Amino acid sequence: MFLKQEYMIHTIQYISIVILLLLLTSCKNEERSNETVSLWPSYNHDLSYIPFDPDLDNPNFEICDSASVRSGRNNFLYPDGNELLIEKIRNKFQSNSTYKNYTGFVVVRFLVNCKNETGRYRAQSMNLDFTKSDAPVRLMNDCINVIKGIKNWKKSNRYDQETEYMKYINLKFKNGKIEHVLL
């Protein structure tokens, strides 16, 4: 019973974050100085697709069928299970004094292709009230690098068809430490 309630809470939180991201993607990106801008673009206007950026992305990462890329909760498959995935993220993340005062969300999204490879990582930060925030650059880059370090993703199963998909991982921070990982 408790696990069902916890799952429902996580699902509601996830849906809220996705809706907020949809709203934020329509906002114009403000120019910032080089000192505060992460190397990774914070968002993209086409939610189901992350276009290739030669300055950020591995040119060898390929999308087999860009028309079949799914987004959302597409029964993404991490073979070791969600609990172990959350544990891996928590264990790999090292808090740093440059972002010890940060409280809010960092949402990392990426693609999993038909070869079970990941690529095209992007991140966005938000305050606890889901308004746009400027998380420390190092925090944003560290979040992406932790997620990039996780291997063994599987293609999504949807209606008994394997598809490529975009995955969101939501990291909630309190004082620079991961408080929750929402998948």
The residue extents of the domains of the chain are 2-27+40-47+64-182
The predicted pLDDT at position 123 comes to 92
Q: Is the pLDDT of residue 90 over 60?
A: yes
Residue 28: pLDDT band by 50, 70, 90 thresholds? very low
User: 46 versus 88: which is more confidently predicted?
Assistant: 88
The predicted pLDDT at position 127 comes to 94
- Which of 64-68, 75-79, 96-100 bottoms out in mean pLDDT, i.e. has the lowest? 75-79
Residue 27: pLDDT band by 50, 70, 90 thresholds? very low
Average pLDDT over residues 159-180: 85
Q: Is 128 helix (H, G, I), strand (E, B) or coil?
A: coil
CB atoms within 10 A of CB 2: 6
Name the pTM for this structure: 0.69
Q: Which residues pair with 169 in a beta bridge?
A: 108
CA-based nearest residue to 123, from 1, 13, 21, 36: 21
- What sign does the CA torsion over 174, 35, 61, 146 have? negative
CB atoms within 10 A of CB 129: 8
The predicted pLDDT at position 173 comes to 96
Average pLDDT over residues 58-75: 74
